[in-house]
Amino acid sequence: MFITMIPEIGHFALIIALLMAVVQAVMPLAGAATRRPLWMAYGQSMAAGQFLFVAIAYGCLTASYMLDDFSVANVANNANSLLPWYYKFSAVWGNHEGSVLMWSLMLAGWGFAASRFTGSLPRDMVARVMGVMGMVCGGFLLFILITSNPFERLLPNMPPDGADLNPLLQDIGLIVHPPMLYMGYVGFSVVFAFAIAALLGGRLDAAWARWARPWTNVAWAFLTVGIALGSWWAYYELGWGGWWFWDPVENASLLPWLTGTALVHSLAVTEKRGSFKSWTVLLAIATFSLSLMGTFLVRSGVLTSVHAFANDPDRGLFILILLAITVTLSLLLFALRAPRVSHSIGFNWLSRDALLLINNVFLVIMTVTVLLGTVYPLILDSLNLGKISVGPPYFNALFVPLTVMMCVFMGLGSAARWKGMAAKDLIHKLWWAGAAALIIGAVMPLLYRGEWNLLVSLGIVSALWVVLPILRDIVDKTRHARSFSAGLRKLSLSYWGMVLGHVGVAVTIVGVTVVSNYNIERNVRMSPGTTVEVAGYQFTMSELTERRGANFLADTAIIQVQRGESGRRFTMRPEKRLYLATGMPMTQVALRPGLFRDLYVAMGEDLGDGSWAVRVQYKPFVRWLWLGALLMAFGGVLAVLDKRYRRVAIARDIPASTAQRYAAQKVTL
């Protein structure tokens, strides 16, 4: 009895969560406006309750999947009784309804976390943050209940078995990619709530920035990992060996990442120097709005890609309205209140402040160009001006030079001092780094391939110019310590976070540069006995066989690979699978990964007469792309673990009188 009711329990839990979100949106804000502590206190408990009930709903949907309850439309459309249990588990978020539910779960989770770790924040600030979080959560829960109910039943015409999960999504990459990405997207809602609360309360100081920074860093780190996982997934799952397609959906995740990166840096300036306040707030609003826009683009059906599940114009409209309300209200608030919270603090043009500002501007320009390339075709189409598509050359033509310019300032910025420094000092500090970067960068392509290549040199110079000034800075910082290692230990965790983040950027740049310029791809016709040579490796197809998997049939090619004449031999087994429930074919790539090169073999199509079209690729340094992203994310997390944030967490226990004293200081701004 209980088991048959699981979907209804989930549905009911969602409705309760929505009601709680409404209370959370109204009461704390009203309390903050009328100075009633009791009303303000509603925020935290509602956030906890809402998280609990969304989690119950999510658990119910997962249970329906696990129990093969095909009377639930969502389960029937996206699962099959043959599916292994872990894919049933991950199929929950492999479709529109389930992924929006997961999104809401994470939103509620972030809201709950924000309500627990309020630090030394004054009570009215907490109340306003909770209120804004409540509005956002409420919007999404309403979206689920009105347009995308995951618990809809197919009664009485219940199908005997499900339609199966899209084979492309039956993969470890899919199990982790969306949750990571969503954690990032949704995490920015906390800093957004903070920005709005600051505008509402008319208070924005270093303490505010110190509070908002860890949240932003964590969200940003999740988003970074999410994007990297997506790229990795596309690399080995789609069978082309591409790692970034400038597909609108990829762009949708890149946009908040770009402004989020700017935000992380701008917050650093706001905390350290008390400047760039309105800019920080604007970036927080922009980042969250772009996260929403990403959702709109993916869910509305204006785009067609692997990510656009069953589409429905109502959903697009709903998110568009949500987006419009968010952007309009927050910008209106910004226009009215920003002059009150900002005040300018002077700095010299040769200072870390200024260099960070310049790169912030570059990041925003990148955002605008990517945004333009992504929505321009949509706008033209909606105005009936023709169907166009904007290809990768557009994005590369803009993104590459902008990144190079940004690297120039990144190198300068990590060695420059706050507030200002003499040009002479900076040149003295960095001339050798510049010279070394230029020389090594110019020579590298010659050493690696025996042929000069401008783009490769440019990439290597940029990467070195990002890393070498940091090395110089570390040497300077440890100079006065007893020993080098003692000096290293003295450096703060947030400093190490910065170092890792920037090294990650350099590593990614090297990866992108090398794999884009030295990638070797050969499409060949192979039958048993055929040998092809690619980049010094001999690929010999020894056999073509068939095998049966859990829910698919596969043609497998067995390919013997040998490096040179006498190198090590190994076997690669690419497959072409046919999934039984959907009848969909899928390419299963054979990969031989390595830090400096990947070998990549994918079966194309059966050409008849016993031969297959096979795609053989040699991809140097491709792992560096994702390695760099992981380093960046790790840097972001390391910065959060810095001592000064831990102190904030302890300060939570300070009695309310201190908080009131903080509140009294409000006038000083």
Partner 1 sequence: MTPKRKQKLWVILGLVSLAAIAVGLTLYALRANINLFFSPVQIAQGDAPMARQIRAGGMVKEGSVARDPDSLDVEFTVTDYVDDLQVVYSGILPDLFREGQGVVVVGELQADGHLYADKVLARHDENYMPPEVAQALKEAGYSPADYQTSAADK
**Residue of 390, 404, 426, 641 interacting with partner 1 (CB under 8 A):** 390
Token output for 134? 């409540």
Q: Are 6 and 69 in contact (CB under 8 A)?
A: yes
Q: Are 72 and 152 in contact (CB under 8 A)?
A: yes
Q: How far is the CB of 130 from partner 1 (least distance, A)?
A: 36
Residues 558-587 that bind partner 1 (CB under 8 A): 576, 582-587
Q: How far is the CB of 320 from partner 1 (least distance, A)?
A: 19
**What is the 8-class DSSP label of residue 303?**
S
**Residue of 313, 339, 391, 594 interacting with partner 1 (CB under 8 A):** 391
Token output for 266? 């701008």
Q: How far is the CB of 309 from partner 1 (least distance, A)?
A: 10
**Pick 365 or 535: Cβ nearer partner 1:** 365
**Pick 202 or 585: Cβ nearer partner 1:** 585
**Pick 394 or 495: Cβ nearer partner 1:** 394
| Per CB under 8 A, 393 contacts partner 1 | yes
**Residue of 10, 138, 173, 373 interacting with partner 1 (CB under 8 A):** 373
- Other CB atoms closer than 10 Å to residue 481's CB: what's the count? 14
**Residue of 45, 342, 369, 516 interacting with partner 1 (CB under 8 A):** 369
Q: Are 617 and 604 in contact (CB under 8 A)?
A: no
Please identify, among the stretches 20-28, 181-189, 390-398, 453-461, the one whose residues bind partner 1 according to the rule CB under 8 A.
390-398
Token output for 506? 């350099």
Using CB under 8 A, count the residues that bind partner 1: 43
| Per CB under 8 A, 615 contacts partner 1 | yes
| Per CB under 8 A, 389 contacts partner 1 | yes
Rounded CA separation 580/550 (Å): 10
Residues 6+ apart with CB under 8 A from 654: 120
**Phi, psi for 591 (deg, rounded to 5):** -120, 140
Q: Are 411 and 423 in contact (CB under 8 A)?
A: no
Q: How far is the CB of 61 from partner 1 (least distance, A)?
A: 24
**Residue of 378, 442, 604, 669 interacting with partner 1 (CB under 8 A):** 604
Buried b (16+ CB within 10 A) or exposed e, 307-339: bbbebeeebbebbbebbeebbeebeebbeebbe
**Pick 156 or 610: Cβ nearer partner 1:** 610
- Sheet of strand 590-592, all strands in order from the earlier edge strand to the far edge: 520-526, 612-620, 597-606, 590-592
**What x/- string results for residues 166 through 205 when contact with partner 1 is judged by CB under 8 A?**
x-x-------------------------------------
Q: Are 579 and 203 in contact (CB under 8 A)?
A: no
End-to-end CA distance of the chain: 61
H-helix or E-strand containing 445?
A: helix 423-449
| Per CB under 8 A, 455 contacts partner 1 | no
Closest Cα to residue 511, out of 641, 624, 425?
624
Tell me the C-alpha to C-alpha distance, in Å, between residue 566 and each of 537, 562, 563, 626: 11, 7, 7, 32
- Other CB atoms closer than 10 Å to residue 69's CB: what's the count? 21
Residues 235-254 that bind partner 1 (CB under 8 A): 239
**Residue of 34, 38, 157, 387 interacting with partner 1 (CB under 8 A):** 387
**What x/- string results for residues 148 through 167 when contact with partner 1 is judged by CB under 8 A?**
------------------x-
**What x/- string results for residues 503 through 542 when contact with partner 1 is judged by CB under 8 A?**
--------------------xxx-----------------
| Per CB under 8 A, 454 contacts partner 1 | no
**Pick 311 or 562: Cβ nearer partner 1:** 311
**Residue of 160, 346, 450, 655 interacting with partner 1 (CB under 8 A):** 346
Pinpoint the alpha helices (H) of 92-169. 96-116, 123-147
**Residues in contact with partner 1 by the rule CB under 8 A:** 166, 168, 239, 304, 306, 344, 346, 349, 361, 365, 368-369, 372-373, 376, 386-391, 393-394, 397-398, 401, 523-525, 576, 582-587, 604-605, 607-609, 613, 615
